[in-house]
Chains A and B, each alone.
Chain A
Amino acid sequence: MSAFAIFVEGQTELIFVERLLFEMLGYQDLRIERETQHGGLYHEIGFRGAPPGNVCHNVLLVNCACDGKVLSAIEERANKLRNAGYDRILGLRDIYPAPSDELEEIYELTANRLVSMPLPCKLVIAVREIEAWFIADTEHFLRYNSLLPSAFIQQKIGVDVAQRDVEQIPHPAELLRKIYNLVGGTYGKKLKEAHRVVNILNYEYLYLEAPDSVPALKKFVDELDVAMWKSPL
């Protein structure tokens, strides 16, 4: 049995991570309690999955909602979470709009702070934006709209999504918006737009194959494995 907390930056990350966990573990063995931060306070926004009791994995999923930064939230809550029986904390943030070449320095600075936490804490940086991971599942564009094969996207906006290193995309959310725009769709911060994308992603691919070519995603799923099974699979 595991009990761990995941702190994410926004609602897109929250619904993506929630779906990823359920795809990995199923609804019988997992219970996710969700919270969102507003004005420095954490509000419960309901639970998903198995009822409380004999579940294998209890996850607290916290949306820091932009104005509450992930690292601050982890530092603020670490003691209480340890006292409440959680054995690990995982954070997920991005660095947009800061340049990617600062990534290693940020990892180092962050690790130096997290080492003093009262329970194991790790923070994963989805490099530019989490939407880069969505783009890595290039087949999802066809599931979004059958008129969106990679060749068509390349022809229209000059980007070969199949070949591109997604971590090098400067503004992944904007690229996603441009691609969906080709067929009259859009992508922004609205919940329904995030749900639409998250619902058509191939999680088997994102968990098993995409990490080979997307280092940040590999770090994240490895940390999830450690949190659930105490070691990477």
Chain B
Amino acid sequence: MQLKNIEYKQYEGDKREWTVEPASFGKINLIVGKNASGKTRILNVMAGLARILAGKQQVLFDSGDFKATLVTPKGKSFVYEISMQNNLVNRECLSCGDNQYLIREGSGPGKIKTEPKGEMVDFQIKPNQLAIFLKRDSLQYPFLEEIAAWAESTEHYEFATLFGPNSIGSPGVLVSMDQIKDSEKPLSRDFKHREMLQLLVAVAINKFSDPFKKSILADMNQVGYDLEDMGVGVLSDIKMIPPPFGIWVKERDLQCNTEQNQMSLGMFRALSAVIRMNLPEFTNAPSAVFLDDVGEGLDFERSVGLIKTLIEKAEKGGFQLFMTSNDRFVMNEVPLKYWSVIIRMGSLVKVKNYENSRDEFNKFEKLGLNNFDYFVANSSRT
């Protein structure tokens, strides 16, 4: 399943109002825009939608009207609309073409279509709960399962922050041998310590052995880091009891291992991204990956190498990739057909991309300019 369209409104009629006009997306997407244009925010909107659909967010939003189109591999388009205020549901609706699958308004009872009879039956749930999540039943409402599966399988990372050593390498975060041996749990998306990269790597190496390592090393090589080995072990120069675990790599031109707390920020971020993008090939693939500020902190060659690798992984892994960036190297490397330019006019955000401005993009490409020049010419209409 793929997120095809999104439309979003928050705090309508309030000073805090913020609106994203209807925007369409493809399989691979690079969201570009100036600082404070709303790149991260739009990524958060999409990832936030996935979170509430998957039931990962216990409290609903203070305000937010979503309209999202999700397309199944067979081309069936589900339109899901949800309006929230004061952490309560105002309206919730799921349809496909002319067929209504779910509808509820205010705190009153809702109706949901049962399978296989196709009857609309009444239901009543609390207004602070989502029917699309609460009514999951693979026999009676199989259409909800498809959407839930999409939502549960999304992953959201911030390249510049979550991929920093502090988020995963802090000495207080320890990995026990039991966790490593219990290989299924840390690899599942619900596992609460999934953000601990060293645990993921330890488990993946334990379970998938050399093929996993070789794949990481090959990708890091493509990104521009000449590594000959990697693994997880005790971080030797952090003296703690019990000793902390961390990732290490062996660079070909160094005689000793480089442990994660000794790695440059750029190398660590690249390694983190490569590891996370490799896991789908060995475990269950995500439906979509949201990656904020990709390439931040990397030099030209590593940025270019990383982007190539990420796009290859998304194409091979079959997942939808959403990246944000205002990095010149990244922009020049990603073909314009994957671009979505964020244009913010006050509290209104428009998305310009191949879906709605194909002629303009084609005309620009004919000029033979760097992609970055398109950004310069089109991102300043705030």
Contact = CB atoms under 8 A, between A and B. Distances in A.
B300 interface: yes
Contacts of B333: 67
Interface stretch (A45-53, A70-78, A143-151, A223-231): A70-78
B100 interface: no
Contact of A105 (B366, B369, B372): B366
A102 B364 CA distance: 13
A109 B301 contact: no
Contacts of A98: 366
A158 interface: no
B299 A39 contact: yes
B368 A39 contact: no
Nearest to B328: A40
A38 B151 CA distance: 41
A186 interface: no
Most chain A beta carbons < 10 A, residue from B300, B333, B363, B370: B370
B332 interface: yes
A69 B300 contact: no
A71 B328 contact: no
B367 A71 contact: yes
Interface in A37-64: 38-40
A31 interface: no
B369 A69 contact: yes
B21 interface: no
Contact of B366 (A40, A70, A72, A102): A102
Given A39-B329, A75-B373, A109-B363, A70 B300 contact: no
A221 B332 CA distance: 31
A69 B366 contact: no
Nearest to B373: A72
Nearest to B364: A109
B367 A106 contact: yes
Given A38-B300, A39-B300, A67 B332 contact: yes
A43 to B, nearest CB: 12
A174 to B, nearest CB: 21
A40 B373 contact: no
Interface string B340-382: 0000000000000000000000010011111011000000000
B299 A69 contact: no
A106 B373 CA distance: 16
Contacts of A75: 369, 373
Contacts of B304: 67
A93 interface: yes
A109 B373 CA distance: 15
Nearest to A9: B368
* Chain B, interface residues (CB within 8 Å), range: 10 to 19
A192 interface: no
Contacts of A106: 366-368
Contacts, number: 39
A152 B256 CA distance: 60
B300 A40 contact: yes
B369 A72 contact: yes
A98 B367 CA distance: 11
Given A39-B301, A109-B363, A69 B368 contact: yes
Contacts of B366: 98, 102, 105-106, 109
A93 B368 CA distance: 8
Contacts of B372: 72
B328 A113 contact: no
Nearest to A110: B367
Contact of B367 (A38, A40, A67, A109): A109
Nearest to A106: B366
B330 to A, nearest CB: 12
B362 to A, nearest CB: 10
A39 B305 CA distance: 12
B213 to A, nearest CB: 30
Contacts of A105: 366
A211 interface: no
Contacts of A72: 369-370, 372-373
Contacts of B370: 68-69, 72
Contacts of A67: 304, 332-333
Contacts of B368: 69-71, 93, 95, 106, 110
Contacts of A71: 367-369
Contacts of A95: 368
Nearest to B370: A72
A71 B332 CA distance: 14
A67 B328 CA distance: 12
Nearest 9 A/B pairs, CB to CB: A39-B300, A72-B370, A72-B369, A69-B370, A106-B366, A69-B368, A71-B369, A71-B368, A109-B367
Given A75-B369, A109-B366, 5 more contacts: A40-B328, A67-B304, A69-B369, A71-B368, A93-B368
Interface of B: 299-301, 304, 328-329, 332-333, 363, 366-370, 372-373
14 contacts: A38-B300, A39-B299, A39-B300, A40-B300, A67-B304, A71-B368, A72-B372, A72-B373, A106-B367, A109-B363, A109-B366, A109-B367, A110-B367, A113-B367
